[in-house]
Amino acid sequence: MRYLVDLGWLRSGLSFSFGEYFDPENTAFGVMRVCNDDLVAGGKGFGPHPHSDMEIVTVVLRGQVKHEDNLGNAEVTKEGQVQRMSAGSGIIHAEYNASESEELQFLQLWFMPRARGGAPSYETSSYEPSQMVNHLLPVVSHTGSEQVASINQDLTIYLSRLERGNELSFHQEAGRRVFLFVIEGELEVSGHVMETRDTARIQNEPHLQLAAKEDTKYMLIDLP
């Protein structure tokens, strides 16, 4: 069960210990440290604040997020795009809802880097939503490409929109983990039903069968 935060301008579902919420039994899943499901009111956001030695990924679900940092980056990221920031040796950034009237919804994910103390960096990548249909579409990976953001860790983030009645298989390599997040819909995972905003942490399951009980959008992360 996620910890829910409601500050009026910000509503969050926290999958791991974060901010005021601390559970010593729920601080990480492998290299994964944060999965925040954030809803930000128009014109609101997070003022300048520092990070170091963390890989931070923002997946925009609805609306637009404005990013600014002390490296000189200033960019707006929208649905169909992913933002990746490697904090490295240190970076100061701010994130705001780019709209004064519409809500912003995004997933923010934090991962420990493969190596500490590197040069901080930032990028925004775009993907084609139609390629998610009945397919696991990589949007972030350690190798990266023109449409896949690169990350300083041996992981891959997939997005998928599975149409009702369709199924996909995923093979989990030995010693690796899978984190699942159902964005909307109902997903059956090897006989277990997950509903909207449910998450799952899976280990030692070499074969996952993913079936849509209804049209379903979800995120799958392959982790070391």
Listed in order, the ranges of the chain carrying CATH 2.60.120.10 are 3-126, 130-223
CATH superfamily of 130-223: Jelly Rolls (2.60.120.10)
How many Cα atoms within 13 Å fall on the side-chain side of residue 148?
18
186 marked among binding-site residues:
no
Indicate the pTM of the whole model.
Answer: 0.96
Q: What is the pLDDT of residues 38-53, one digit of tens each?
A: 999 999 999 999 999 9
- Compute how many other C-beta atoms are within 10 angstroms of the C-beta atom of residue 50: 10
Distance (Å, rounded) from C-alpha 33 to C-alpha 18?
Answer: 9
Does CATH place domain 3-126 in 1.20.140.10? no
207 marked among binding-site residues:
no
What's the confidence (pLDDT) of residue 88? 96
What's the confidence (pLDDT) of residue 172? 93
All residue ranges of the chain with pLDDT < 50 are none
135 marked among binding-site residues:
no
95 marked among binding-site residues:
yes
